[in-house]
Amino acid sequence: MRIQVNLGDPLLQKVDKLSEMCGVSRSALCSMLISQGVLAYDKSFEVMDSLKESLPEQIGKVVSKKSS
């Protein structure tokens, strides 16, 4: 699938420099960076979901220990 993204000149210069350093095209670098960003967001939402489930129980344990 193809998308079009507009970048400011300073960011585009950084993308060009990084793509040259990595030996990949601008598009390949952008694809890799977007993939990494999406994976990071997915992981952070997984962590938040697990905290929603376990945090109340953990807080209850701490409060119980302090009450004892």
Three-state SS string over 4-68 comes to: CCCCCHHHHHHHHHHHHHHCCCHHHHHHHHHHHHHHHHHHHHHHHHHHHHHHHHHHHHHHHHHHC
Quick check: 68 pLDDT over 80? Answer: no
Task: Express each pLDDT in 7-59 by its tens digit.
Answer: 999 999 999 999 999 999 999 999 999 999 999 999 999 999 888 888 888 88
pLDDT, position 25: 97
